[in-house]
Amino acid sequence: MRTIWSRPRAEAREDAEAGRFITMPAAAAVPPLQQVLRRLAMAILVLTVTTLLVWLDRAGYNDNADGKVDLLDAAYYTTVTLSTTGYGDIAPVSDAARLTNIFVITPLRVVFLIILVGTTLEVLTERTRQQVRVHRWRSKMRDHVVVIGYGTKGRHAVETLKGQGMPKEKIVVVDPQQKAIDAANNDGLVAVQGDATRSRTLLKAELDRATRVIVSLQRDDTATLVTLTARQLNRRAAIVVAVREDENVPLLKQSGADTVVTSSSSAGRLLGVSTASPHVADTLEDLMTHGRGLSLTERPVRQDEIGRSPREATDLVVAVVRRKRMLDYTDPESATLQFGDRLITISREETDY
């Protein structure tokens, strides 16, 4: 795999451009005082090593004051050399003056250099570090989930994905609002800020290499355009879209959505069920909420379940998916489980206490 240093120039420019819009979860910050102390320790280590080198080679040096170089002279020579101060026009001769230069003036010069040069180096280092992180992330990101829109629906979708075992490193958020981007970063997610109706924004999220796309936007017309753009970029990804109105479902299907969830009608049905039978509504909420006790999941049929009835499965089977067809548990075709079937099951989640 190509490293950050061997990238083509066009790819380097692309990474730099992507770095303006891609934000990644912040690493653990080092306190400022600790950073300063670390830099001072490194400076002292360099001074010490250089002094020892000069002292070991003291025969090759000459002191205009007494003609010989001892350990104090070597330390003095090191300090004026590393601090780029120079020597010759004004040179302290007495031991007291040289001790003052070593222990007072030179540390002040080091502090000055840290403040003056260290800030610039820190900015350049941070910029390079960000480009390296973006390049590594883009080169390794495969088979991930892109969540377009990080509002209430998007956040709950991400929580459900993580509850089902999806690593947060495999989830990428796309949203035009800085507030949503900050919220995604605080949740440990990589986020891309930009207009999701534009192909360039979706490509920054590596949508062309994703396996699933979730579109959870506020406007149905925007969701339709985003779905069409996503399908053009990725023909194999499963696209799930949330819309407000039922009348927009056929349009979303034609645009390339595999599954369309109508939020308004779903909420209305849940309201009706809650009114007629509150316990049924509580059970549905339990099934759809991770960590409540019951979980509605889809899984492949196990080897020991092949050839058996769905009622003999480990979990409670409510439907069987066979060759992209949904068969409920009463369908005669689902009486015997086959290799390649996927089971829609209700199981009890194991909670750590």
> Alpha-carbon distance 198 to 226, whole Å?
8
Token digits of residue 25 = 């979860």
Return the amino acid letter for 339: F
Token digits of residue 12 = 């380097």
Half-sphere exposure in the Cβ direction for 218 (13 Å, CA): 6
CATH of 293-348, one of 3.40.50.10860, 3.40.50.150, 3.30.70.1450, 3.20.20.70: 3.30.70.1450
> Residue ranges of the domains in the chain?
15-139, 142-266, 293-348
Query: Smallest Cα–Cα separation from 76: which of 60, 230, 94?
Result: 94
Sheet hosting strand 342-348, strand order edge to edge:
294-300, 342-348, 316-322, 325-328
Q: What percent of the chain has pLDDT over 90?
A: 27
**Domain 142-266: CATH superfamily, name plus number:** NAD(P)-binding Rossmann-like Domain (3.40.50.720)
Encode pLDDT of 145-169 as tens digits. Answer: 999 999 989 998 998 888 878 899 9
**What are the φ and ψ backbone dihedral angles of 13, each rounded to 5 degrees?**
-65, -35
Domain covering 15-139 in this structure, CATH number: 1.10.287.70
What's residue 92's pLDDT?
54
Return the amino acid letter for 353: Y
Predicted confidence pLDDT, tens digits, the chain (353 residues)? 445 455 566 666 666 666 667 776 765 555 656 766 777 787 788 888 888 887 887 776 677 777 777 888 888 877 777 777 766 544 555 676 667 667 876 776 777 677 667 656 666 666 667 777 777 888 888 999 999 999 989 998 998 888 878 899 999 999 999 999 999 999 999 999 999 999 999 999 999 999 999 999 989 999 999 999 999 999 999 999 999 888 899 999 999 999 998 877 777 777 787 777 787 777 777 776 665 567 777 889 988 888 888 888 888 888 899 988 888 878 888 888 889 898 988 877 654 43
Query: Smallest Cα–Cα separation from 181: which of 207, 149, 215, 222?
Result: 149
> Alpha-carbon distance 230 to 239, whole Å?
8
Q: How many other CB atoms are found less than 10 A from the CB of residue 168?
A: 14
DSSP assignment of 159-212 equals: HHHHHTT--GGGEEEEES-HHHHHHHHHTT-EEEES-TTSHHHHHHTTGGG-SE
